[in-house]
């Protein structure tokens, strides 16, 4: 990857992140990202909970960026499984 390609990729990611934090689920995304490691570990201690937490953040970011309907977001979260649902329950309004 050339330096120019890297810069272009970073600009695109920064734009996507800004759109996510200004999108429909900006408050939920901020609350989700504000959960502490101990809060996440309390749900299910282990390594997979952090991986699922990361996947959950990715899903909520993208849902916020594209203004995904609440029912569709809920379905995507449920597809991640029980751990993702338990984490999402810590964020008011995420699984409405």
Domain limits, the chain: 3-88
Residue 74 reports pLDDT greater than 70: yes
Determine the pLDDT at residue 47: 64
How far is residue 51's CA from residue 81's CA, in Å, rounded to a whole number?
12
The 10 Å Cβ neighbour count of residue 67 is 10
What pLDDT band is residue 71 in, cutting at 50, 70 and 90? very high
Question: Phi and psi of 19, rounded to 5°?
Answer: -60, -40
The stretch 59-87 carries a mean pLDDT of 92
What is the CA 5 to chain-centroid distance, rounded? Answer: 26
> What's the Cα-to-Cα distance from 84 to each of 13, 43, 53, 78, 92, rounded to whole Å?
24, 10, 7, 7, 14
36-68 residue pLDDT tens = 888 888 887 666 778 889 999 999 999 998 888
């Amino acid at each position: 990857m050339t330096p120019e390609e890297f810069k272009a990729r970073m600009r695109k990611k920064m734009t996507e992140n800004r759109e996510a934090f200004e999108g429909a689920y900006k408050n939920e995304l901020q609350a989700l990202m504000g959960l502490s490691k101990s809060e996440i570990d309390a749900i299910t201690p282990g390594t997979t909970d952090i991986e699922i937490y990361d996947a959950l953040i990715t899903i909520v970011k993208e849902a916020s960026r594209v203004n995904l309907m609440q029912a569709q977001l809920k379905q995507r979260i449920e597809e991640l499984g029980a751990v993702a649902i338990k984490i999402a329950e810590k964020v008011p309004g995420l699984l409405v």
